[in-house]
Structure 1
Amino acid sequence: MDTLYFAPGTCSLAVHIALEEVGAPFQAVRVDLAHGQQRGADYLALNPKGRVPLLLTAQGPLTETPALLLYVAQRFPQAGLAPLDDAFTLARIQAFNSYLCSTVHVAHAHGKRGSRWVDADDTAAIEAMRRKVPHSYGECFELIERELLQGPWVMGEHYTIADPYLFTLAGWLESDGVDPSHLPKVLAHRQRMAERPAVQRALARVQLG
């Protein structure tokens, strides 16, 4: 049985949802980020990056949300979460998820974890990064709204591993100072996702964890 190491309010929710969608047997272990558990020796022995999510499989540990989502889709192909026999469409999904990982999530992190990029005592730089987040994060979602979200799901008619990832990051809009009222497609997608039983199960696990 795989073990998902997660933390509430992080992108690990996307993997949590995907595992619920495919009906995978898995154990969920909460990592206490507030108390630095991710930097403890035991956790770093599994994931030297000191981040979540981490999926511990029978073959070893896996990290990075796009990789974990594709792993789930490939391990449970009958669930149809990715077009594994269509190289072009699969690459488009990976392009979307890579954008969320490398650009959208980074824009969010500038507001919460500015010390990753500048010295922790450079309060002026950290505050400048924080002030920029509503614009930079909102700009990312304007592009998603305008160009990338096909509707009703990210890739159109078929639900894929891109959908739980978008749902997770869209859940941070308000806390990042972005008014989502001008993102009707994103809001509709977020509501549609919230109605899925797998999403509800994942959220319940996170809250209980």
Structure 2
Amino acid sequence: MTASSLTLYFAPGTCALATRIALLEAQAEHTLVTLDFAAQQQRSPEYLAINPKGRVPALVTEHGVLTETCALLLYVAQRFPVANLAPLDDPFALARMQELNSYLASTVHVAHAHGRRGNRWADAPESIADMQRKVPQTMAESFEDIENYYLRDSGPWVLGNRYSVADPYLFTLARWLRSDSVDIAQFPRVAAHQARMLERAAVQKALG
């Protein structure tokens, strides 16, 4: 398998969008396989053989299958260094990028999932309903942290003037705010970041 035969398993509206954007930014040839979550294709025996977790994204490479957005984004950045999608030459900046990506995965995504996947954490209907009610608050609090900490510098991107794979990841999860009953206008820096991302050709192609 060569770089041109990478295969990304994807579903619309999911965090897999971040990896899709990164691959397009890197101009990495790849095959896109879109799963129909409504038809439960992510739980099919064929897909579970690829990713037993039954989630997206999953990226098939010549060395095996990779899952989890943080891992895939760093892989793309390292696999295609000419695209300059991560500060591979700066340990601090790279850790800073990974810090935000980890926060998006471990805190923001989990807060969002409480509104849709409550049965991962509770069985009682009242417990699940309580988690759902909490989502607007926890998502707003998470993005307040992003607004005031990760986007506090003057640059247009997460790492200031340097675009990185943290930007499509933030873009992807910020798109969930509306469905979580959070007004993005509360966070001017996040909103401006969304607008800048929408101007990028890779983002437009990924959303097209």
Using the size of structure 1 for normalisation, the TM-score is 0.95
- Asked whether 1:152 is paired with 2:156, we answer yes
SS at structure 1 position matched to 2:42? helix
Range with bigger deviation, 135-144 or 86-95 = 86-95
Point out 4+ residue stretches in structure 1 off by more than 2 angstroms. none
Could you tell me how far apart the structure 2 residues matched to 1:113 and 1:182 are?
Answer: 26
Q: 1:128 aligns with which of 119, 127, 130?
A: 130
Could you tell me how far apart the structure 2 residues matched to 1:179 and 1:46 are?
Answer: 37
State the 1:88 CA deviation. Answer: 1.5
Could you tell me how far apart the structure 2 residues matched to 1:51 and 1:200 are?
Answer: 24
State the 1:85 CA deviation. Answer: 1.7
Q: 1:138 aligns with which of 137, 140, 145?
A: 140
Could you tell me how far apart the structure 1 residues matched to 2:115 and 2:59 are?
Answer: 26
- Asked whether 1:32 is paired with 2:30, we answer no
Match of 2:204 in 1: 200
Could you tell me how far apart the structure 1 residues matched to 2:88 and 2:114 are?
Answer: 34
Match of 1:103 in 2: 107
SS at structure 2 position matched to 1:55? strand
Match of 2:82 in 1: 78
For residues 170-209 of structure 1, the C-alpha deviation after alignment (integer angstroms, 9 at most, x for no partner) is 00111101112120000000000001000001111xxxxx
State the 1:37 CA deviation. Answer: 1.2
State the 1:67 CA deviation. Answer: 0.4
Range with bigger deviation, 64-73 or 80-89 = 80-89
Could you tell me how far apart the structure 2 residues matched to 1:181 and 1:188 are?
Answer: 9
Match of 2:8 in 1: 4
Question: How many equivalent pairs are there?
Answer: 202
Could you tell me how far apart the structure 2 residues matched to 1:123 and 1:168 are?
Answer: 29
Could you tell me how far apart the structure 2 residues matched to 1:93 and 1:181 are?
Answer: 24
For residues 10-46 of structure 1, the C-alpha deviation after alignment (integer angstroms, 9 at most, x for no partner) is 0000000000001000010011112211111111111
Match of 1:63 in 2: 67
Read off the aligned partner of 1:83 and give its amino acid letter.
P
SS at structure 1 position matched to 2:115? helix
Report sequence identity in percent: 63
Read off the aligned partner of 1:129 and give its amino acid letter.
M
* Structure 2 runs not aligned, ≥5 long: none
State the 1:123 CA deviation. Answer: 1.5
For residues 108-151 of structure 1, the C-alpha deviation after alignment (integer angstroms, 9 at most, x for no partner) is 000011011112xx221111101000000110000000111134
Could you tell me how far apart the structure 2 residues matched to 1:200 and 1:90 are?
Answer: 26
- Asked whether 1:168 is paired with 2:167, we answer no
Question: Over aligned residue pairs, what C-alpha RMSD do you find?
Answer: 0.8
* Structure 1 runs not aligned, ≥5 long: 205-209
For residues 77-105 of structure 1, the C-alpha deviation after alignment (integer angstroms, 9 at most, x for no partner) is 01110011211211111111000000000
For residues 60-82 of structure 1, the C-alpha deviation after alignment (integer angstroms, 9 at most, x for no partner) is 10000010000000011011100
